[in-house]
Structure 1
Amino acid sequence: MATIQQIQEFVAMAHRVGQSGLTVCSSGNLSVRLDNDEVMISGTGSWVPDLTPDKVSVCRLSTGEVLNGIKPSMESVFHMGVMRERPEVGCVLHFQSPYATAVACMKKRPADFNFTAECPIHVGREIPMIPYFRPGSPELASHVIEQMKHHDSVMLLKHGQVVCGKDFSQALERAMFFEMACRIAVINGDNVDPLTAEEIGDLDTYILGKTTK
C-alpha cells in the first residue's frame, strides 16, 4: 500500500498542477504509478489544485480494485488503461488549461501545433483529436487508451487534454508546452507560421545527436 510519504508527495504534485494554471476547481485529474502494481489517482470530485491526502485513491493497477476505500476519479479507467498499455508511463495528467481548452472548443483548429521547437520535441509532432464523448464514459476511455498507445498527448474536443510521461515532471512539462502552443494559436489566429517538415527533421538530427554523445 502507498505510504504516507508517497501520498504527501502526490498531493504536492497535484498542487503544482494547480499552481501552473492547468486545472480549475474540480476539472482534471492526476495519476502516478507505484512499484507494486498500485497507482495513486486523485479522488472523484476532488479539486486537484487543493487536493488533500484523504482524497487520494490508491488502486491496484492490474485490476482497478480500490485498495484504500477512496473512489478514484471517474476518468481513472483511461489513466490505468494507458499505464497498462505502456509500462514505461509513470504519470498521466488530464487537464483543462485556458488556451488549450479554448482550442479544443474551436470549430476550426490549427492543422498542427509545431509553432516552436518545444512542441515536436516534448508534446508530439502529431496530436490526435478525440471526438467529444461524455466525460467518464467508456467510449472516451477507449479512445484515449487507443490513441495514447502511440502518442504522449491528445486533445479531447469540447473537453480538455491528456498527457503522459515517464514521471510527473515529464508529464507536467508536456502539459505546459501543450498550453504554450495553444496560446500561440489563439493569440495569432491565422497569422501563424509552423515549423516545416525540414525544420522538424533538423531538430530530430540535433536531438538524436545530443543524446548519443
Structure 2
Amino acid sequence: MGTNDIKEEIASLGASLFHRGFSVGSAGNISARADGGFLMTPTNSSLGRLSPSSLAVLDSSWRHTEGPRPSKEVVMHRAMYDARPSARAVVHLHSTYVTALSCLESPDDTIPPLTPYFVMRIGQDVPTVPYYRPGSSEIYDELLDAARTGPAVILRNHGSMVAGESLEEAVNAAEELEVSAQLAYLLLDKPKRPLTEQQVRELTGR
C-alpha cells in the first residue's frame, strides 16, 4: 500500500472511530508506517475531521520532517513499534469503558477472556501500565515491556494503546478491546464464566 493510500485509510478509519463514539473531541491518535518512516495524526486534531493531506510525517528516527506537529504522544507510539517490530500501525484511544476500567483501584486483570474474539484479536491478558502525564517520555520503558506481551496495553487513568500488522487490524483490535471492556464493566459485580484454559489454547494454538 502506497503512502497516499495509507493517508486515506488513516482519515477514513479515524472518522469511523469518531462517528461511532470510540473517540471524542481531539482525543486519541493514530500512526502508521510509511516510506521508511511514520505518518501520525497531528496534535490537537479530531479523528473525525482528519485530512489525508495534513498528517504529520516522521522519519525512521521519529524526527518530524513534514506537515503539522505530530501528537504529543509520539513516545507511546514509538514504544509500541519498538516492542512489536511487525506492527504497521498503532491506535491510541480514550474510549469510555477501557478508560473506566483503567480508573479502578486495581485495574489489573479486569478484562477476563470472556469471548473468543477477544482472545483471537487481543490475547488472553491485557497488561496495564501506571499513569504518566500525557506526552511524558517517562512512560517509554514501562510501555515497551508491557507491549512485548501482546498487542494491547491499558494506560491507567488514560486509555489504551493497540498495535496491528495493518491499520485495519489495529483498529479492529482497538474496537474489540473497548467492547470487551464494556462486557467486563457490565459484569464487574456478577459471577463470570470466562473461557477455560483449554478453550483459550484451542484459539491461540498454544
TM-score, scaled to structure 1? 0.86
TM-superposed deviation, 1:56: 1.0
- Post-superposition CA distance 1:129-175 (Å, at most 9, x none): 10111111012233222321332000001110010000011111111
The 5-angstrom pairing of residues 177-188 of structure 1 reads 177-188=176-187
% identical equivalent positions: 27
- Aligned residue among 91, 94, 118 for 1:93: 91
**CA–CA distance in structure 2, aligned partners of residues 176 and 87 of structure 1:** 22
What is residue 168 of structure 2 aligned with on the other side? 169
Checking the alignment, whether the CA contact within 8 Å between 1:127 and 1:153 is kept in structure 2 is: yes
In the alignment, structure 1 residue 102 sits paired with structure 2 residue 103: no
With over 3 angstroms needed to count, the CA separation of the structure-2 counterparts of 1:108 and 1:190, relative to structure 1, is farther
- Secondary structure of residue in 1 paired with 2:64: coil
* Stretch moving more, 65-74 or 150-159: 65-74
Checking the alignment, whether the CA contact within 8 Å between 1:78 and 1:142 is kept in structure 2 is: no
**CA–CA distance in structure 1, aligned partners of residues 130 and 108 of structure 2:** 16
- Post-superposition CA distance 1:60-115 (Å, at most 9, x none): 02x11112142110111221332244331100000011111111111244734211
TM-superposed deviation, 1:190: 2.4
What is residue 63 of structure 2 aligned with on the other side? 65
- Post-superposition CA distance 1:182-206 (Å, at most 9, x none): 111111222122112122123334x
TM-superposed deviation, 1:125: 0.7
AA aligned opposite 1:113: P
AA aligned opposite 1:47: S
**CA–CA distance in structure 1, aligned partners of residues 141 and 54 of structure 2:** 25
What is residue 158 of structure 1 aligned with on the other side? 157
- Secondary structure of residue in 1 paired with 2:30: strand
TM-superposed deviation, 1:176: 1.2
**CA–CA distance in structure 1, aligned partners of residues 94 and 148 of structure 2:** 21
The 5-angstrom pairing of residues 10-159 of structure 1 reads 10-34=10-34, 36-53=35-52, 55-61=54-60, 63-109=61-107, 111=109, 112-159=111-158
Checking the alignment, whether the CA contact within 8 Å between 1:23 and 1:96 is kept in structure 2 is: yes
* Stretch moving more, 42-51 or 196-205: 196-205
What is residue 203 of structure 2 aligned with on the other side? 203
Checking the alignment, whether the CA contact within 8 Å between 2:72 and 2:135 is kept in structure 1 is: yes
- Secondary structure of residue in 2 paired with 1:67: strand
**CA–CA distance in structure 2, aligned partners of residues 204 and 4 of structure 1:** 35
**CA–CA distance in structure 1, aligned partners of residues 120 and 19 of structure 2:** 24
Q: Which has the larger radius of gyration?
A: 1
Checking the alignment, whether the CA contact within 8 Å between 2:41 and 2:71 is kept in structure 1 is: yes
With over 3 angstroms needed to count, the CA separation of the structure-2 counterparts of 1:9 and 1:178, relative to structure 1, is closer
Residues matched between the structures, number: 203
**CA–CA distance in structure 1, aligned partners of residues 113 and 69 of structure 2:** 38
Checking the alignment, whether the CA contact within 8 Å between 2:33 and 2:88 is kept in structure 1 is: yes
Structure 2 unaligned segments of length 5 or more: list them: none
